[in-house]
Amino acid sequence: MLLTREPLSTAPAADPAFCRDIVEGLSRFPKATPPIWFYDQRGSELFEAIADLPEYYPTRTETGLLQRHGPDFAEAIGPGRAVIEFGAGSARKTPHLLRAIDPVAYVPIDISGDFLHASSAALAAAFPGLPVLPLVGDFNADLSLPAAIHGLPRLGFFPGSTIGNLEPAGAVDLLRAMRRLLGEEAMLLIGMDRIKDPARLVSAYDDAAGVTAAFNLNLLTRINRELQGDLPLEAFAHRAVWNDDKARIEMHLEALRPLHFHVAGYCFDMAAGETIHTESSHKYGQRDERLLLRAGGWEPTRQWSDDEGLFSLILASA
């Protein structure tokens, strides 16, 4: 609610884009920050821990699909492509795909450099002879692919339903940008999380062990460290809410009492009960998946889902 701004007193030491996004996001009403900033080293580690949680079905379900359908991928995609993975992280799912389709190069893209380099080294060791060409960057911004893969047909790999972390208009823009980046003969293999029982969704984003809460709160730790913030962590609670109208799980950080704090020299106030909306995770019906891909310039050609219909992997052509 209340917002006061004072002039910037100290130059921010951190990534200027991080500073800009956070100061703008906290200045808005309701307060909202982009989810890309979760992924510092600690945030990336916590996300890996989320992937193993009993409540967090997406990673396990998608990995099962990748393991099970290798022969289908080999037939539908074939060998000889350069695989470009968007938001590669630890790239734990990637070996299943690479084994199935025998690519000629692998380009993992991720915003967290340290994490990306460690996982790329592990992957290069597991696939001797496969050129692994990591690219540090935000795939929502303009990127250029390494010269070494120019002229090769490409497969974009975008697992994890990370597309769901974007607003629908942003998701369409990203799919179109991927199509431009990957070129005419490209294919895209994308994971999308399905709409399901809200109770199941809420528990996936508010687990009993509190790992997702730690992941959400780590954003405040990062703001305090990198943007000279003084947000009192103990005065915030993690909340996961199903927004049925927008078919998405929202993560928020709720102020437990009235707060006054500083970030990068700016002052902010929050009322008790006010939240910072830190992430949306959109879920899709079967038709929504196809509509979204077509709006983004891709034609869906194959689709695989688990027996419970929790998650879906879709192959699309440019």
- List residues binding ligand AVI (CB under 6 A): 50, 58, 160-162, 164-165, 205, 212, 279, 281
Cα–Cα distance measured from residue 165 to residue 188, given in angstroms and rounded to the nearest whole number: 18
Using the minimum distance from each CB to ligand AVI, give the nearer residue, 122 or 214. Answer: 214
Using the minimum distance from each CB to ligand AVI, give the nearer residue, 24 or 52. Answer: 52
Note whether 211 and 177 are within 8 A (CB). no
277 by DSSP, 3-state: which? strand
CA distances in angstroms from 92 to 58, 88, 142, listed in the order given = 13, 9, 25
Least distance in Å: CB of 212 to ligand AVI?
5
Using the minimum distance from each CB to ligand AVI, give the nearer residue, 32 or 105. Answer: 32
Long-range contacts of 129-134 (CB under 8 A, 24+ apart): 130/98, 130/103, 130/104, 130/105, 130/106, 131/104, 131/105, 131/106, 132/105, 132/106, 132/108, 133/105, 133/106, 133/107, 134/88, 134/107, 134/108, 134/109, 134/110
Least distance in Å: CB of 287 to ligand AVI?
21
Using the minimum distance from each CB to ligand AVI, give the nearer residue, 12 or 289. Answer: 289
Using the minimum distance from each CB to ligand AVI, give the nearer residue, 178 or 264. Answer: 178
Residue with nearest beta carbon to ligand AVI: 281
Least distance in Å: CB of 140 to ligand AVI?
13
Least distance in Å: CB of 165 to ligand AVI?
5
Using the minimum distance from each CB to ligand AVI, give the nearer residue, 12 or 40. Answer: 40
Note whether 237 and 256 are within 8 A (CB). yes
Q: Looking at residue 284, what DSSP letter applies?
A: B
CA distances in angstroms from 246 to 82, 114, 122, 281, listed in the order given = 35, 35, 39, 10
Using the minimum distance from each CB to ligand AVI, give the nearer residue, 61 or 161. Answer: 161
Cα–Cα distance measured from residue 159 to residue 150, given in angstroms and rounded to the nearest whole number: 23
Q: CA 99, 100, 106 angle in degrees (round to 5)?
A: 60
Least distance in Å: CB of 279 to ligand AVI?
6
Least distance in Å: CB of 13 to ligand AVI?
27
Least distance in Å: CB of 172 to ligand AVI?
17
Least distance in Å: CB of 78 to ligand AVI?
28
Using the minimum distance from each CB to ligand AVI, give the nearer residue, 228 or 280. Answer: 280
Cα–Cα distance measured from residue 235 to residue 257, given in angstroms and rounded to the nearest whole number: 7
Note whether 228 and 265 are within 8 A (CB). yes
What is the C-alpha radius of gyration for the chain, rounded to an integer number of angstroms?
A: 20
Least distance in Å: CB of 118 to ligand AVI?
18
Q: To which H or E segment does residue 35 belong?
A: none
Using the minimum distance from each CB to ligand AVI, give the nearer residue, 124 or 237. Answer: 237
Cα–Cα distance measured from residue 241 to residue 202, given in angstroms and rounded to the nearest whole number: 6
Note whether 11 and 23 are within 8 A (CB). no
